[in-house]
Structure 1
Amino acid sequence: MQFNHDKNPSGSPARSEADQPVTDGESPELDNLGQRIRELRTEKKLTLAALSLKSQISVGMLSHIERGQTSPSLKTLERLRLALEVPLARLFERDSPPPEEAGRVVRAHHRRKLQFDKIGLLKELLSPPGHSDLEVLMLSIEPGGGSGPEPWSRNGEKAGLVLAGRFDLTIGDQTYRLEEGDSFQFDSRVPHRFRNLSKQESRVLWIISSDEPG
């Protein structure tokens, strides 16, 4: 998958408007995320400069993310996981589960959560960490929230079930209004986006099957 990376006049990758500095003190979630990204980068034997080149994220931004000083956008996380060649879930691993549950079970209190305040979206990762081509998530979409202004595309398929509320799913040039109980499936190489235009929160079981590396 390719992204259109806007660049600033100096030629460095531009900072996403959704990448926000942390201004209200340290964030344990961001610290954990930054530490995990640093561990994965080290595991892959990548310098900050090498990861910057692969992800098209500036060295300065990567440094801020690794130190828990910046809240990365959804697009930035996607670039990072592609550059590191890992599923998104591996960026949010927590304490190891009991050996008999590892790779199979995720307890409710161990769910990894990704909160994107700027676009009104909470992602809860339901799949256990690993290298599976299948990822299962719970999306909570605030009124007016969604996937962001730009459409997404990636190799593979996406499917889901609306658990509560309703939301609009746009696939290519077609928009579908989906309500509680409705389900969907589509080729995720087709540009797509979603938005909750109602006055109530929407909750969606979201499934991703991808043949991309990681």
Structure 2
Amino acid sequence: MSAIGPKVRELRTQLGLSLQQLAGRAEVSAAAIYKIERSDMVPTVTTLLKLASALERPVGYFIEEETTDPASAVYIPAGERKVVKTRRTGVELADISGPSERFRVNGVVATLPPGARGSEWSPARPGEELVLVLDGAVDFTVGEQEFALKQGDALHYLASCRYSWTNPHTGSATLAWIKLHDDA
């Protein structure tokens, strides 16, 4: 049961949903989801069914226990990265991080096609994000600051800041996008 919260948080983050957005999808209060994610509260069966549906996973995903002893390191070969679902058209995300129950960092390789854009803001979301442009270029706005990032550039910001990104260029951009969840 202790794995339910981290799994909910991991999927919500992968889908790019704020607590409020998931609450709207699942018809569960944001406060309850916050408590579940922090393992301060065990969801009722009804709440778990709603969250599973909103996160597009079977209920068993949240309650199955790992059958092997956890390793201190997780190796993810380039050809075996799990695809992370996103609602942004054309954006491809491939997971580069270990299970969120054991690690506080999530990472993806994001491929952003020309014209792709997105934004995020949750003032209550703790943590940090780090973006490294592996190929192409992308424009970011964090708060009132604007950044034109090109290959090799990095941007590190607090997750509680309002941010947006766009790829106004003619080619795709590939980013390593790392998120540190501060659950303190």
TM-score range, shorter chain: 0.5 to 0.7
Aligned match of 2:82 = 112
Aligned match of 2:150 = 179
Summarize the alignment of residues 46-85 of structure 1 with structure 2, pairs less than 5 Å apart: 46-51=43-48, 59=50, 62=53, 65-66=56-57
- Is 2:27 the counterpart of 1:3? no
- Is 2:143 the counterpart of 1:152? no
Aligned match of 2:172 = 201
**1:65 counterpart SS class:** coil
Given that 1:102 and 1:128 are in contact with CA atoms closer than 8 Å, whether structure 2 keeps it comes out as: no
* Structure 1: unaligned runs, 5 residues or longer: 14-43, 53-58, 68-89
- Distance across 1 between alignment mates of 2:19 and 2:87: 25
Aligned match of 2:8 = none
Count, aligned residues: 148
TM-score w.r.t. structure 2 length? 0.63
Distance 1:161 1:118, change over 3 A: closer
TM-score w.r.t. structure 1 length? 0.55
- Distance across 2 between alignment mates of 1:190 and 1:64: 24
Aligned match of 2:95 = 125
- Distance across 2 between alignment mates of 1:204 and 1:155: 22
**1:143 counterpart SS class:** coil
- Distance across 2 between alignment mates of 1:180 and 1:63: 36
- Distance across 2 between alignment mates of 1:61 and 1:134: 22
Distance 1:212 1:108, change over 3 A: same
* Structure 2: unaligned runs, 5 residues or longer: 1-17, 28-40
- Distance across 2 between alignment mates of 1:100 and 1:60: 26
**2:139 counterpart SS class:** strand
C-alpha offsets along residues 100-147 of structure 1, whole Å, 9 cap, x if unaligned?
A: 977421112321112436433111111122421112211100111133
Given that 2:22 and 2:54 are in contact with CA atoms closer than 8 Å, whether structure 1 keeps it comes out as: no
Partner AA of 1:122 in structure 2: E
- Distance across 1 between alignment mates of 2:86 and 2:130: 21
The structure, 1 or 2, with the larger RCO (C-alpha pairs under 8 Å, 6+ apart) is: 2
**1:193 counterpart SS class:** strand
Given that 1:48 and 1:63 are in contact with CA atoms closer than 8 Å, whether structure 2 keeps it comes out as: no
RMSD of Structure 2 on Structure 1 (CA)? 3.8
Aligned match of 1:189 = 160
- Distance across 1 between alignment mates of 2:140 and 2:128: 15
Percent of counterpart pairs with the same letter? 20
Distance 1:64 1:141, change over 3 A: closer
**2:48 counterpart SS class:** helix
Given that 1:120 and 1:143 are in contact with CA atoms closer than 8 Å, whether structure 2 keeps it comes out as: no
